[in-house]
Amino acid sequence: MNLPVRSIAAALLVIGLTAAVLDKARAGGDDYFPPVTHKLTTDECGSCHMAFPPAMLPAASWRRMMNELDQHFGDNASVDAETAASITRYLVANAADTGGRTYGRKLIRGVSNGAAPQRITELPKWVHEHDEVSPREWKQKDVGSKANCPACHVDAQLGYFEDD
């Protein structure tokens, strides 16, 4: 009598496992960087450009950047001290060399310990990955800047940066 219930449970288990395996395969890929989940960071750091995943730079980079927001790539991106502290905590906890290790480790390969590069687009590994993008492509009107990831990576906001 409880056979149908059991088979349903078994079927659900299979579906659950498949989803978990798929999820892991995608999340474990070199091209997956968990998107920002901290609302303050999304709001303050996603208004001028996409909110870059914290796992794309080492903790030292975020600390330095958050201390120099009044001179942020020619813009003033200052926020109040409390907001800055909260964003810094989030970025640092999920940085390439801390919480975001699994995802960011490869991207910061070649960056010396303690260095604080300010641009993802100047990381040796990033530059290497984009070797084959021609100068003409970078200058296309809908791209505009190397930092405009979503122009080429349509699912960048979801954390996916596969070549498409």
**For residues 27 and 133, which CB has a smaller minimum distance to ligand HEC in the complex?**
133
Of 95, 100, 153, 159, which lies in the binding site for ligand HEC, with binding defined by CB under 6 A? Answer: 153
Tell whether residue 130 is a contact of ligand HEC (CB under 6 A).
yes
- Residue from 121, 155, 157, 160 in contact with ligand HEC (CB under 6 A): 121
In the complex with ligand HEC, which residue's Cβ is closer, 16 or 138?
A: 138
In whole angstroms, how close is the CB of 70 to ligand HEC at the nearest point? 11
Sign of CA dihedral 145, 32, 66, 118: negative
Q: Which member of 80, 82, 132, 142 binds ligand HEC (CB under 6 A)?
A: 132
Asked if residue 87 binds ligand HEC (CB under 6 A), the reply is yes
Closest approach, Cβ 112 to ligand HEC, in A, equals 18
- DSSP per-residue string spanning 87-156: HHHHHHHTSTTTTTHHHHTTTTTTPPTT-----GGGSHHHHHHTTTS-HHHHHSTTT-STT-GGGT-TTG
**155 touching ligand HEC, by CB under 6 A:** no
Q: What whole-number distance in Å separates Cα of residue 117 and Cα of residue 46?
A: 20
Q: 44: part of which helix (H) or strand (E)?
A: helix 39-45
Q: What Cα–Cα distance (Å) separates residue 33 from each residue in 51, 54, 82?
A: 12, 8, 26
Least distance to ligand HEC, CB of residue 2, Å: 47
